[in-house]
Amino acid sequence: MLKWLVRGIALVLAGFLLIQLVPYGRDHTNPPVTGEPAWDSPASRTLAVRACFDCHSNETTYPWYSNVAPVSWLLQRHVTEGRQKLNFSTWATGRQKAEHFARLIQSGEMPGWDYVLTHPEARLTDAENQQLIDGLTKTLGSGGG
């Protein structure tokens, strides 16, 4: 029994080491910032930076564990999808998106639970959530700059 346990642990460890050879998610260069919305207030931007910018801008801060597979794969997917849906660094959006993002924040879908788990500063109070929703609605709804 012990022999099989040791083999199993060795196999899992070998698999973990082997997946480290897959480079996906380890290129942590951010594309250039080419534009940003005309924020309705500095407070709105500050809240967006805290809760949104790591996935929804070209100013992503990558933690040390973003170099370890399979976490690097998951983080890269989050950032890629987040930037595709809304990117504060390559600005162009409208009111429909503002309302959509407001609903995501109100429902608690954004920021994602896994992001908040590793980034406690992104956990906004109810009042901060409402302030962010109001700020995004004003900023995006006015044409976004």
Give the model confidence (pLDDT) of 92-116 as tens digits: 755 567 888 889 999 999 999 999 9
How many domains does the chain contain in total?
Answer: 1
Rounded Cα distance, 40 and 140, in Å: 9
Rounded Cα distance, 25 and 22, in Å: 9
Per-residue model confidence as pLDDT tens digits over 78-93: 999 999 988 999 987 5
54 within a domain of the structure (yes/no):
yes
8 within a domain of the structure (yes/no):
no
103 within a domain of the structure (yes/no):
yes
25 within a domain of the structure (yes/no):
no
129 within a domain of the structure (yes/no):
yes
41 within a domain of the structure (yes/no):
yes
Tokens 């962010």 appear where?
132
Indicate whether this model's pTM tops 0.85.
no
Question: Tokens at residue 38, please?
Answer: 């005309």
Structural domain boundaries, residue 64: 36-141
22 within a domain of the structure (yes/no):
no
